[in-house]
Structure 1
Amino acid sequence: MKTNGSFSSPSDFILVGFSNIPHLQVPMITAFFVMYLITIVGNLLIIAVILSEPNLHNSMYFLLSNLSFVDITYTSATIPKALSNYLSGDPSISFVGCFTQLYLFVAFASTEFLLLTAMAYDRYVAICKPLRYSQIMNREVCLLLSATSWILGFVDAAFSRFISLLDFCKSNVINHFSCDLRALFTLSCSSTKTIETVVLIECLLIGMSSFMLTLVSYVRIVSAIFQINSAFGRSKAFSTCTSHLTSVILFYGSMISVYVRPASVSSLEKDKFFAVLYIALIPTLNPLIYSLRNKEVKKAVRIFFTRKTGIISDVTLGLRSSVIPTHSGFIKDRRKAAQ
């Protein structure tokens, strides 16, 4: 036992897992394992393709490679431990391990919020300022946006240290498959009002401010798109944003549904449902969203596998998609229109 003031906190916590219903544990574990495998393979593939294909060496894909990496890291902060607990039959996690997991998850999730905001700004510049795109979104700016996202993400997670100082004497059973912030609050016999206020402020500073900046970017983007005369031009402009906008809606929606509302014991089951979305499902979908709906990425994947297998196929390399325009092609079209 760990003594904290006049109370005792457990040296280990017990994670309930994905479901309180025994016959649902195996299907849930299987689904999580498959989603985790797709997340790792899919995001690593996107990173490898972006690094190997010179045509993808621009700000849009640099930020996308950062997003893919953070998807891998923040999913890996939680799911492997949940899978290990189930397979070993030992549902425990140490006190230190629990709060390390909480810190890493919050840090990576906050970084994802900021990266999505940076990507929204990139789309705004590409559509609203096409003539100055390469000057505005240069290498230095991309590195600055990326570094700022990572640094602020890890700074934002510092409040998890204060949560570890609470007294957990009610129980050591966490009704979740990870060391979830709100589930930990329900176990504390200390007053959590102050730390909950701090958490809310942190969510507003990072989550809501990122959301508002993203919203402003898209309001400007939509306004610029409706000023394009041709229906084909408007369609091409919208298509450059659909992948990112889909990720934003899914990630922001599920996170806000959990953390920007009062905590209660009765809401923990709903919290676990939303946690499945932002911890497992969204990182699984992101590689599919950004590859299946993107001509440049699909072509680069074909070239990547062609090089790796040593098979040169003019037909493969010459494949074209008539549905989604390329990022670089759209920029060129916008530049011509602006001239």
Structure 2
Amino acid sequence: MAQKNFSTITELVLVGFSNHPQAEIPLFFLFSVVYLVNLFGNIALIILVAIDSCLQTPMYFFLCHLAFLNIFYTTTVVPKMLFNLLASKKVISYEFCLAQTYISLLMGAAECIILAIMALDRYVAICDPLRYLLIMNWSMCVQLILGAWTISFFASVVPLYFTILPLCGPYIVDHIFCEVPVLLHMFCADTSLQETMMVIGASGTLLLPFFLITLSYLRILVAVMRMHSTEGRKKAFSTCSSHLTVVTVYYGTGIFMYMRPKSLYSAEGDKLISLFYAVINPALNPLIYSLRNKEVNGALKRALERWPVSQGK
């Protein structure tokens, strides 16, 4: 009977912020602006790296993948959320709900691994600068990024596909989009295996990359403290500050969301957490990486200077 219910589900109620109807219109305009900032910032970053040879380095190659990930992830979540803020019937199709679940897992795992790769890149750049281009050559960069996406897929999407259970009514998703911690409460059968798989998967895609990031920055800290030049220390810290900011924000919310027991679930609290790492953080990333980055600001200035010339032609 459970399997029959599972196969005949066509749509689910996506509660979102309907518990606060007076806030829906202001939230629609706020999240629309955030989404546009996300699109503009991340697309602009990708274009800058593509057209400016000074930015065609391993660090910005990885950053482009992070920007693409941010665009794809939020585009899966935000347009539907915006539509439901204005709609009287706040629903999501079962197929799209599953798609959001798979994509959120894949993108979350990939972001963790890419952030770890970027930490490794900074470690090599600071601790072994003379061999940096030899170690972080383009072949290695491509292998690392392909490995990140492949591992993310097999560590997140595949286990979920083989362990997903039928859903029980009422088919109400009290969240802003569909993701695993929310669906666990809707499965008909015992979810002990799914919870265990989620913790194991999170250990591999959250904790292991976090351990590598921590180890890389400990080594970087030791190397920086050994520098005799104050200017050298300042430059080393400035190249890492943006990445550290993004890591702190992303990991803080991600670990809390995916590495706790189901008993600690709180619908309203989790909406805010998910909103932060799925909507707001992707919009902040290009700002964090560019506002204090002289290379990006220089590339933007050169692009703007060339723009009138190309328009004149």
TM-score calculated relative to the size of structure 1: 0.87
Secondary structure, aligned partner of 1:14: strand
Residue of structure 1 equivalent to 2:307: 308
**1:76 Cα deviation from its structure 2 partner:** 1.1
Gap regions ≥5 residues in structure 2: none
Answer whether contact 1:162 1:195 (CA < 8 A) is retained.
Answer: no
User: What's the C-alpha RMSD, in Å, of the aligned pairs?
Assistant: 1.8
Deviations 1:97-133 (A, max 9, x none): 1101111121111111111010000000000000100
Gap regions ≥5 residues in structure 1: 313-339
Answer whether contact 1:13 1:173 (CA < 8 A) is retained.
Answer: yes
Name the % identity: 38
**1:230 Cα deviation from its structure 2 partner:** 2.5
Q: Which moved more, 1:241-250 or 1:24-33?
A: 24-33
Q: Distance in 1 between matches of 2:86 and 2:41?
A: 24
**1:26 Cα deviation from its structure 2 partner:** 1.9
Q: Distance in 2 between matches of 1:284 and 1:185?
A: 28
Secondary structure, aligned partner of 1:13: strand
**1:305 Cα deviation from its structure 2 partner:** 2.1
1:1-339 equivalences in 2 (<5 Å): 4-5=2-3, 10-18=9-17, 20-155=19-154, 156-162=156-162, 164=164, 166-264=165-263, 267-310=266-309
Matched residue count: 309
**1:198 Cα deviation from its structure 2 partner:** 0.6
Secondary structure, aligned partner of 1:229: coil
**1:181 Cα deviation from its structure 2 partner:** 1.4
Secondary structure, aligned partner of 1:107: helix
Q: Which moved more, 1:3-12 or 1:236-245?
A: 3-12
Answer whether contact 2:24 2:86 (CA < 8 A) is retained.
Answer: no
Compare relative contact order (CA 8 Å, sep 6+) and give the higher one, 1 or 2: 2
Q: Distance in 1 between matches of 2:66 and 2:172?
A: 33
Secondary structure, aligned partner of 2:262: coil
Q: Distance in 2 between matches of 1:307 and 1:87?
A: 42
Deviations 1:257-290 (A, max 9, x none): 1111112375222111111110111111111111
Deviations 1:174-210 (A, max 9, x none): 1001012111111222111111111110000111101
Q: Which moved more, 1:140-149 or 1:120-129?
A: 140-149
Q: Given residue 192 of structure 1, which amino acid in structure 2 is its aligned partner?
A: T
Answer whether contact 1:12 1:95 (CA < 8 A) is retained.
Answer: yes
Distance 1:88-1:7 versus aligned 2 partners, 3 A rule: closer
Answer whether contact 1:36 1:284 (CA < 8 A) is retained.
Answer: yes
Distance 1:92-1:139 versus aligned 2 partners, 3 A rule: same
TM-score calculated relative to the size of structure 2: 0.94
